[in-house]
Structure 1
Amino acid sequence: MYLLPGLIVLHALEVRDLQLSFVVAYGLSSRRTKKMESVVAPRLIRRQELEYRTGFRRSTIYAAIKSGGKRFDPDFPQPVRTGKGTVAWLEEEVDAWIKARVDERNSISR
């Protein structure tokens, strides 16, 4: 879950099956705590979930993001470095890429 600095999280909900992340955050104030608007944070997914969602295996994923390769896909979501030797992908970018593939299929079949 992505949190913004300077916020106190009073309620957090993450439902994995529905792929829903929701955070209600309150801003810090020296005199009082005032309510801020709900923040829907971007969700990062790891490679295993990316494999499940796309149907691609590890080698195909990395071939799709490697420019110059024969399976390079410029539209495929690029990974985000999350630490030393670890990466993840933005869920919304993966969902958009999948939706674009479905839309492309639907426009061809008409």
Structure 2
Amino acid sequence: MNLISTRQFVALTGLSRATIWRYRKKFPNFPQPIVLSPSSIRWVEQDVDRWIDALRKVA
């Protein structure tokens, strides 16, 4: 399991940080972060990749 930062998530998707947090609450299939500490949040890279692939299949 490879964990990525929010900054890396932004780079992979082109979404802003605000949009990522909005999508987290709005879309149930959106990848959820892993909270390591109050100031450290990571995302499972494979979950992000699967989400991107699912979007490509729909588009």
Q: Which band: TM-score by shorter chain?
A: over 0.9
TM norm structure 2: 0.92
Q: Is the aligned partner of 1:97 residue 2:51?
A: yes
User: What is the CA-CA distance between 1:84 and the residue it aligns to?
Assistant: 2.9
Q: What runs of 5+ residues in structure 1 fail to find an aligned partner?
A: 1-41, 67-71, 106-110
| Structure 1 residue 58 corresponds to structure 2 residue 58 | no
CA drift of 1:85 comes to: 2.0
Equivalence for 1:88: 42
For 1:54 and 1:102, the matched residues in 2 are separated by 12
What do you get for the CA RMSD once the two structures are aligned? 0.9
Larger RCO (CA under 8 A, 6+ residues apart): 2
**One-letter code aligned to 1:100:** A
Instruction: Tell me the percent identity.
Output: 34
d(CA) in 1 for partners of 2:57, 2:40: 31
Over alpha carbons, which structure has the higher Rg?
A: 1
Structure having the higher helix fraction is: 2
Runs in 1 of length 4+ with deviation above 3 angstroms? none
Give, in whole Å, the separation in 2 of the partners of 1:83 and 1:43: 17
More strand by share: 1
Task: Give the TM-score, by structure 1 length.
Answer: 0.51
Alignment of 1:46 with 2:5, yes or no, is yes
- Structure 2 stretches of 5 or more lacking a match? none
